[in-house]
Structure 1
Amino acid sequence: MDKKLRAHRLDLKIQIRKYEEGYREQWEAFIERAANGTFLQRRSFMEYHGDRFQDASLMVWEGEELLAVFPAHQVGNQIFSHQGLSFGGWIFKRGLSLSFQRQIINSILGFYKNQAIQSLMVTPVPYYYSQEEGLQEVDYDTLGFEISGNKEIYLIEAPFILKDKGKKKGVRRALRKGLDVREGELTQGFWEGLMVPLYAAKIGKDPVHSWEEIALLSERHPGRIQLISAYLEEELLAGLVIFRHPQVIKVQYSAVTEHGKICRAMDFLMQYLMNLPHIHYIDMGTVYDGQTGEKLESLAYWKESFGAVSRKIPSLHLKLI
Structure 2
Amino acid sequence: MNKSLNIRRYTQRDADAWNAFVPTSGNGTFLHDRRFMDYHSDRFEDHSLIAEADGKIIALLPANRAGDTLQSHGGLTYGGLVTGPAMSAELMIETVSALYDTLRASGFKRLLYKAIPHIFHQYPAEQDIYALVQRGAQMVRCDLSSAIAIGRSPKFSKSKRQGVSRAGKAGLKVTQSDDFAAFWHILTARLGDAHGAAPTHSLAEIEQLRGHFPDKIRLYVAGAGGSLQGGIVVFDCGPVVHVQYMASTEDGRRDGALDLIVSRLLDSVYSGRTWFNFGISTTDGGRTLNTGLSRQKEMFGARSILFNQYEWDLS
Q: Could you say whether these structures have the same fold, taking a TM-score greater than 0.5 normalized by the shorter chain as the test?
A: yes
Of the structure 1 ranges 282-291 and 68-77, higher mean CA displacement relative to structure 2 is found in 282-291
Superposed CA deviations along residues 140-177 of structure 1, whole A, max 9, x for unmatched, are 32121101111111121113563311111221222233
- Corresponding letter in the other structure for 1:183: Q
Deviation at 1:292, TM superposition (A): 10
Q: Can you list the C-alpha shifts for 1:262-293, whole angstroms capped at 9, x where unaligned? A: 22111111112223233111111112347997
For 2:191, the aligned partner's letter is Y
**Residue equivalent to 1:117:** 108
Q: Give, in whole Å, the separation in 2 of the partners of 1:261 and 1:313.
A: 29
Question: 1:80 is matched with which residue?
Answer: 71
Following superposition, the deviation at residue 312 of structure 1 comes to: 2.2
How far apart, CA to CA, are the structure 2 residues paired with 1:75 and 1:33?
Answer: 30
- Number of aligned residue pairs: give it: 310
Which residue of the partner structure matches residue 183 of structure 1? 176
The corresponding residue for 1:224 is: 216
| Unpaired runs of at least 5, structure 2 | none
Secondary structure, aligned partner of 2:289: coil
Aligned to 1:201: 193
Deviations 1:181-210 (A, max 9, x none): 112445212112x11122222222321211
Aligned partners of 1:251 and 1:285 also within 8 Å: yes
Residue 317 of structure 1: aligned partner:
311
The alignment status of 1:297 with 2:288, answered yes or no, reads no
What SS does the aligned partner of 1:285 have? strand
Residue 243 of structure 2: aligned partner = 251
Q: Residues of 1 paired with 2:285 and 2:96: CA distance?
A: 33
Q: Give the alignment partner of residue 145 of structure 1, picking from 137, 142, 152.
A: 137
Q: Which has the larger displacement, 27-36 or 277-286?
A: 277-286
Cα pair 1:127 1:137 within 8 Å, conserved: no
Q: What is residue 32 of structure 1 aligned with on the other side?
A: 23
Please give the root-mean-square deviation of Cα atoms over the aligned residues, in Å.
Answer: 2.0
- Partner residue, 1:154: 146
- Establish whether residue 47 from structure 1 lines up as the match of residue 41 from structure 2: no
Partner amino acid, structure 1, of 2:238:
P
How far apart, CA to CA, are the structure 2 residues paired with 1:24 and 1:136?
25
**Aligned mate of 2:158, from 153, 158, 165:** 165
- SS of equivalent to 1:284: strand
- The structure-2 alpha-carbon separation of the partners of 1:292 and 1:280, relative to structure 1 and needing over 3 Å to count, comes to closer
| Aligned-partner Cα distance in 1 for 2:26–2:92 | 12
Measure how far apart 1:64 and its partner are: 3.0
Q: Is the 8 A contact 1:186 1:225 kept in 2?
A: no
In structure 2, C-alpha distance between the alignment counterparts of 1:12 and 1:283, rounded to whole Å: 41
SS across alignment from 2:182: helix
Q: Does the alignment pair 1:97 with 2:91? A: no
CA distance in 1, matches of 2:122, 2:134: 25
Aligned amino acid, residue 198 of structure 1: R
* 1:164–1:130 Cα change, 3 Å: same
What letter corresponds to residue 127 of structure 1 in structure 2? H
Provide structure 1 residue ranges, at least 5 long, that are not aligned to the other structure: 1-9
Q: Is the 8 A contact 2:163 2:256 kept in 1?
A: yes
In structure 2, C-alpha distance between the alignment counterparts of 1:306 and 1:299, rounded to whole Å:
12
Cα distance in 1, alignment partners of residues 133 and 125 from structure 2: 18
CA distance in 2, matches of 1:81, 1:144: 17
Q: Which among 274, 279, 287 is matched to residue 281 of structure 2?
A: 287
Say which of 164, 171, 174 aligns to 2:167: 174
- Kindly tell me: are residues 292 and 285 of structure 1, through their superposed partners in 2, closer, same or farther at Cα, counting changes over 3 Å? closer
Name the CA shift for 1:106/1:274 in 2 (closer, same or farther; >3 Å). Answer: farther
Deviation of the 1:58 alpha carbon: 0.7
Q: Are the equivalent residues in 2 in contact too, given 1:44–1:220 (CA < 8 A)? A: yes
Quote the offset at 1:12 in angstroms: 5.8
Distance (Å, rounded) in 2 between the aligned partners of 1:208 and 1:304: 23
Q: Distance in 1 between matches of 2:69 and 2:126?
A: 28
